[in-house]
Amino acid sequence: MPAVFDGHTVPMPKVVSIHSYRGGTGKSNFTANLATTLAMQGHRVGVVDTDVPSPGIHNIFSLEPERAPVTLNSYLWGEAAIEEAAYDVGGAAGIAEAGRLFLVPSSVKADDIARVLKDGYDVKLLNDGFRKLVKALELDYLFIDTHPGLSKETFLSIAISHVLILILRPDKQDYQGTAVTIDIARQLNVRKMLLAINKAYSSLNFDVLKQKVEETYGTPVAGVFPLSEEVVQLASEGVFCTKFPDHLVSQEFSKVAAHITAEG
């Protein structure tokens, strides 16, 4: 179990990939909150936005593109070291102490996105970059925010993760896509897989829902999050779990975090 102290005696960093088969599951918001929850507990946490075709998580951390000229794209094109593309976003996320939470954003410039789509990039570089970042920033946890659907990058992030979190909404399309992803993740020998249900109607019985999903996939559900107008309004700016630490949703993130920090 990684240490939480300032003495910083960390045995082994953990890689956590957050994925969903379809878009709109609230993946980036989930990633930002979970990463922040761990950073609040005193861990050193990095987040890489590998959603190169449609980056977004930088908004939640209020990192304006003008303030982040060096991005993951710069690294992939050999223009910068990956740690040069890492920005301390702890302040924006509501963490007083510096050096706890870093974000490597993807470029939002149309030309940059087009270049990646046109030329692609070597997934080996991405893998090497993750490792360099973990070393350079002495991270305890590295979060990989992925592009929805299945791609080479998804496969890579699944294959290298210590923990894979699949986010799904309680609807048929997500159920089916999640089954496909779970099947692939198992074939890639994923070490630990967790499900998170997001945007569940408040009218549903969460315990029953959780149990049903766990039975269907044979995979633990680490948290169930409600579809709530209140949360959407409150979460429109900044990271929810630091602004409303006592809210039920924030407590649910703490539960998911406990799954991640648990041994094995």
Q: For binding to another protein (CB under 8 A), which residues are involved?
A: 12-15, 123-124, 127-128, 131, 134, 152, 155-156, 159-160, 162, 184, 187-189
Q: How far is the CB of 52 from another protein (least distance, A)?
A: 17
Which residue number, 128 or 230, has a Cβ lying nearer to another protein? 128
Q: How far is the CB of 187 from another protein (least distance, A)?
A: 6
Q: How far is the CB of 134 from another protein (least distance, A)?
A: 6
Which residue number, 15 or 95, has a Cβ lying nearer to another protein? 15
Residue 82 CA to residue 78 CA, distance in Å, equals 9
Which residue number, 133 or 249, has a Cβ lying nearer to another protein? 133
Which residue number, 152 or 212, has a Cβ lying nearer to another protein? 152
Which residue number, 93 or 160, has a Cβ lying nearer to another protein? 160
Q: How far is the CB of 159 from another protein (least distance, A)?
A: 4
Tokens 């579809």 belong to residue: 227
Q: How far is the CB of 56 from another protein (least distance, A)?
A: 25
Q: How far is the CB of 186 from another protein (least distance, A)?
A: 11
Which residue number, 11 or 218, has a Cβ lying nearer to another protein? 11
Q: Which residues contact residue 38 at a Cβ distance below 8 angstroms, ignoring those fewer than 6 apart?
A: 45, 140, 141, 257, 260, 261
Measure the CA dihedral 238/210/22/32, to 10°: 20
